[in-house]
Structures are given as structure tokens and as C-alpha cells.
Amino acid sequence: MLDGPIMSHTIVVGAFAHETNTFVPEPVTRADFQAREEHLYEAVPENLRGTETAVGGVINVADEEEIDLIHTVSAFATPGGVVDDETYEFYTDLILDAVKENVEELDGVMLPLHGAMVTESDSDGEGRLIQAVRDVVGEEIPIVVTLDLHGNVSERMVEAADALVAYETYPHLDKAKTGERGMRLLLKAIEDDIDPTMHMERPPTIAYQPKAYTPSGPMAEVMDRARHLEQRSGVLKVSVLPGFYHADIPEMGFTIPVVTDDDPDLAREISRELAEFVWTMREEFVEEYPKPAEAIQKANKLRAEMDPEDGPIVMAEFGSNPGGGGASDGTTVLREFLDQGVENAGWAIMYDPEAVEQCIDAGVGNRVTIDIGGKTDDNHGETIKDVDGYVKAITDGRYVNTGTSHSGKGVQNDIGTTVRFQCGANDSVTVVLAPTRASAFDAEIWRHIGQPPERLDMICIPSLIAFLGDYEPMSSEVILIDTPGTSAVNPARFDYERIPRPLYPLDDLADDDYPDWG
Ligand SMILES: [Zn+2]
């Protein structure tokens, strides 16, 4: 080993991520990325150094090792429909052009991606990109890819990349660590300390998204076992991806890519051991959740027994979760807040540009009657008509994440002119209205609008469980609610045509239907 800084390496980094819900009709365009995150070239490290993101983690390692990275892009959009081809080509060309320009002196390629990107013309957006990079660099240059654990991993991704490294947590609290892990693997591969090889199995089962929660429950057991298997000599990385089932694509599914040091048999053995374990636990990954009326009755009852200093009852509204392609304008729980006379409750973020305009016209402190939510389509509940209330505050919609959030501490949000609308019993129900679809995974959304979330009795967030990272510590109770929408939790609500079948629990499968290693 050399003393001092290791020899300089030429590494191209490109981050391009989207979780595509193929049940959402409108395609996602460059404007959707720009609305969320689009940093180009040197703006990538300027904005992401030190952040809780995979790119932030990659930069951490590069800084420690005194490596100058070649940055190209970091772009991601709120989950939604398929990425249109023009947008896909624009971002992937930024990466491919840098790879081509530097191909002579290139040592490695680092791609912080998601794994569930579907484009207009390809159901495997990441696989197509990784393969395109591979086609330029040839077999010798290592390509390491980090993934969200909601990625639907394709065989093409496994074949084209040297190593796939997924988040280990959901809520995703290890984004930067994942970037660091990926970057460390890449450096070892560049220095020929390792020769990564992969194998991936697909247990034919769906994990209901809330059951993919890693701090407890079945996924905690699977992750524990994965971490344990990683201790074996020669194992470089064991990833567990329950996948994203709001995508009707052939690649959809639960996958277990395992990276070893030049030992394909070991990779296969470990991937199979874990796949079999997931299969034996499949029933634990399925659950029924209460519908809105029942959930709010329960919350009201709990609230009656609460001490004043108890934290809020926090609730997830699955169906309109914008983090999964929902419209973020679901009305089924808010309607129960109003109908059941709930007090001191909050709902955020309600996507409703029309209501925002009406509140701006009314002005702060003034009463106004508006129609709220349910305007995107017929999937997320009917519009709540003629809601009387008053405009408590209007903000520019800018705030920085401060919590232990899935969205990343330190990340800047800019959701557009945002309204705090007070309605319901004693005007004590706060609805945060915004002109963009954005996740309220970080509780700073409430503080930026003058409402400390800890002081509310009930908080409902359109989310699966990603919001729990920031909200669970302050909560007295968590209630997950089965609501309709394009991100509804029950897969039986969707008409699939292209996913691999048979698949539990959509199809009847017997214990011995899997595994069949053949
Ligand atoms: Zn995810």
C-alpha cells in the first residue's frame, strides 16, 4: 500500500432516480425533475455534499480519499407515471457523454439510481442505462450501482453492473451510508482488491409496502439474516429489495441480489437461502388495514383517553401517497375528520392548486369556502365540497428538512406557495394546501407554516410508512389506513397484465411451489 493519498482515480458519477407507478396515467417530464431535484455538473457536489443522500455518501468517501469525481447529474422526481423518452435520454446522455469523453482514462463508474424507473419505451430504465454504460466502457471497468430497496431489479441490471448495493432500511435512513458502501466497493474493485460477481433470486411473493418496514416485523428478520450472511468470508453485499408493486412490468418483484468476491456459487447459495426464508415468511408480509371511518373512530376513542402531554396519533393515508405515485389529494380520511367532528388535527400535504389560489385571493385571516381535494382523478375519493374555513397563513413553501427523515436531513424543499387552511370543528383542523405534489415525510412542513406538529392530536399524512422516520418518535399511536388511490396498498385493487405470475398473494400457491431450483 502507498502512504498518503491513494493514486488518483477517474470516476464518473451519475444519479438519476425515479420510482414509476405505471397506474398513473400522465408521463413524467423534465419539468417534474426540475420541480424536485435537478443538479448538473459541479452543482451536484455544491448542493449535495454533506447531505443524507446516496450522492452525499459517494462524495464523503471521495473527499476522504482525496478523489476528484466527475459529476454529471443528480436528478429525481416525485414518483409518478412513466418517464417520457425525451427526459430519459436527456439525463442518461449527460452520464453517457461524460463516460465517453473520459473513457481513455476512466477507472470506474458510480451510479446512484433507484431501480424502479419505467420509461415510455422500456420497463427497465436502470437496466437500459447500466447496459449503455457497459457498452461504452467494456468489461474491465467496474460499474457500481446503488438502489432504493423499492427497486424492481432486472436480470439486465445484474448482468451489466459489477455490484448492486441497496438501502438496508425503510424508512430509508441509510441513503448516505449506502452511497459510501457502494463507493468503497467501487474503489476496491478499481484497485483490484476484489472481483465482484452477482447472483439474484426472486421469491414469488409480494410484501405489502408497510410490511417492508425494517425496524420491526418480518422485514427486520430478513434484514437481520442478510446482515448475518454478509459476515461470511467472500461476501461483499447482500441486498434485499421487496420491490415496488405499483408497476405492471415483467421486472416487478421481490429480489435478492448478492455480491461476492469472485465466487458465483457462494452468491447463488446465499441468495437462495434468503429467498427461501422470505418464501416461508410470505404470509407475514400481507396484512389488512382499517378503512377511514373505522380508523378515525378508533383514533377518536384513543384521543379521549389521551393525556394532554401525549404526542399526536399519526396516521398514514396509503392511497394518495405521492411518494408512491398517489395524487396527494385523497379525501377519504379528511372527510372523516370533518364528519366525525375531530378537533386539533392536521392533514398534509393536500395537492390542490385551485384551492391555494382561492385562499390567496381571500387573504390571510379571512374566511373562505372552498372545494378540497379529489380533483386529479376518480381514484382518490370525491372532492369535499363547500368547506368553510379561514386562511391562517401563506408561505413561500420553502423549508429545509430537519428530522430523521426518509426525505433526507438538510434537503431543501420548495413546494410553491403554501396555505395553512383551518376548517372543521372550531376551525381546529389544519389542512396544508400546496400547488405541487410533495411528500410531508419531514415534519418541518408543519413548523414552517406555524403549526408545531407535536401539539396536534391527530396528524394524517398521505404516505406509506416513510413518514414514520420523523413522526413516530413524537407520536402516541400510529394508525395505518387502507384508502383508495393509485398507491393503494392492497395489490388486489390493481389489474395486472405484465407482472410475473403466479405470485403470492394474488395467486394460490402451495408451500412446495417454491423454491424449485431445478
Ligand atoms: Zn423507497
3-state DSSP of 306-317: CCCCCCCEEEEE
End-to-end Cα, the chain, rounded Å = 45
Check residue 211 and report its DSSP letter: G
Ligand 1 center from residue 241 Cα (angstroms): 9
CA distances from 188 to 144, 182, 261 (A): 11, 10, 11
Distance, CA 169 to ligand 1 centroid (Å)?
9
Question: Cα(255) to centroid of ligand 1, in Å?
Answer: 14
Model confidence pTM above 0.85: no
The pLDDT of residue 323? 81
Distance 311 CA to ligand 1 centre (A): 27
3-state percent helix, strand, coil for the chain, nearest multiple of 5: 35, 20, 45
pLDDT of residue 88: 98
Q: Do residues 400 and 317 lie in contact, with contact meaning Cβ atoms separated by under 8 Å?
A: no
CA 83, CA 91: separation in Å to the nearest integer? Answer: 11
Using 50, 70 and 90 to split pLDDT, how confident is the model at 256? very high
Distance from the CA of 195 to the center of ligand 1, in angstroms?
A: 28
The alpha carbon of 325 and the centre of ligand 1 are apart by a number of angstroms equal to 12
Q: How far is the CA of 339 from the centre of ligand 1 (A)?
A: 34
Q: Are 504 and 204 in contact (CB under 8 A)?
A: yes
- Residue whose entry in the numeric block shows the C-alpha cell 374566511: 367
Q: What angle do CA 273, 111, 146 make, to 5 degrees?
A: 30
Which percentage of the chain shows pLDDT scores above 70? 98
C-alpha 517 – ligand 1 centre gap (Å): 29
* Domains delineated in the chain: 11-285 (3.40.50.2300), 292-488 (no CATH)
Q: How far is the CA of 210 from the centre of ligand 1 (A)?
A: 11
CA 55 to chain centre: 15
Half-sphere exposure in the Cβ direction for 314 (13 Å, CA): 27
- Distance in Å, CA 253 to ligand 1 centroid: 14
Over range 93-102, report the average pLDDT.
98
Report which of 349, 318, 466 is spatially closest to residue 417, judged by C-alpha positions.
349
Q: Is the pLDDT of residue 302 over 50?
A: yes
pLDDT band at 7 (very low <50, low <70, confident <90, very high): low
Q: 242 CA to middle of ligand 1, Å?
A: 10
- For residue 133, the CA-to-ligand 1 centroid distance in Å is 24
Cell numbers placing 110: 458510480
Other beta carbons within 10 Å of 509: 16
Distance 116 CA to ligand 1 centre (A): 9
C-alpha cell belonging to residue 54 = 446516496
Bridge partners of 393, per DSSP, are: 420
Residue 72, sorted as left (phi over 0), alpha (psi -120 to 50) or beta, turns out to be alpha
- Determine the 3-state secondary structure of 31 from DSSP: helix
Q: How far is the CA of 112 from the centre of ligand 1 (A)?
A: 13
Q: How far is the CA of 172 from the centre of ligand 1 (A)?
A: 7
Residue 1: pLDDT band (50, 70, 90) is very low
Ligand 1 center to residue 370 CA distance, Å?
Answer: 34
| 126 alpha carbon – ligand 1 mean position (Å) | 15
Q: Which helix (H) or strand (E) holds 388?
A: strand 384-395
Distance, CA 80 to ligand 1 centroid (Å)? 13
What is the distance in A from the centroid of ligand 1 to the CA of 19?
A: 8
148 CA from centroid of ligand 1 (Å): 5
How does DSSP classify residue 432?
E
**Cβ–Cβ contacts within 10 Å for residue 356, how many?**
23
pLDDT tens for residues 212-239?
999 999 999 999 999 999 999 999 999 9
Residue 407's pLDDT is: 66
Give the pLDDT confidence score for residue 518 in this predicted structure.
75
- Across the chain, mean pLDDT equals 95
Secondary structure of residue 376 in the 3-state scheme: coil
Residue type, 90: F
Q: Which three cell numbers stand for residue 20?
A: 414509476
Distance 421 CA to ligand 1 centre (A): 30
| pLDDT for the residue 408 | 73
Alpha helices in 340-406 (DSSP H): 353-362
Dihedral sign from CA coordinates of 244, 248, 249, 251:
positive
Angstrom distance (rounded) from CA 384 to CA 146 = 42
Distance CA 70, CA 383 (A): 48
pLDDT band at 324 (very low <50, low <70, confident <90, very high): confident
Q: Which amino acid is at 239?
A: S
Q: How many angstroms separate the alpha carbon of residue 462 from the centre of ligand 1?
A: 15
pLDDT tens track for 386-410: 999 999 999 999 999 988 766 678 8
Block residue for cell numbers 400481507: 286
Residue 54 contacts residue 176 (beta carbons within 8 Å) = yes
Residue 118 CA to ligand 1 center (angstroms) comes to 15
- Is pLDDT at 420 greater than 60 in this prediction? yes
Q: Which class for 4: exposed (0-12), middle (13-18), buried (19 or more C-beta within 10 A)? A: exposed
Average pLDDT over residues 104-112: 97
> pLDDT of 154-185, one tens digit each?
999 999 999 999 999 998 999 999 999 999 99
- Residue ranges of the alpha helices (H) in 378-486? 444-447, 468-471
Alpha carbon of 54 to ligand 1 centroid (Å): 12
pLDDT value at residue 6: 52
The sheet with strand 69-76 has its strands ordered as 37-40, 69-76, 11-17, 108-112, 143-147, 163-166
- What are the grid coordinates assigned to 90, written together? 436527456
CA-based nearest residue to 154, from 243, 82, 89: 243
Distance 226 CA to ligand 1 centre (A): 18
Whether 112 shows a pLDDT value over 80: the answer reads yes
Cα–chain center distance at 391: 32
DSSP state of 273: H
Q: What is the mean pLDDT of residues 458-473?
A: 92
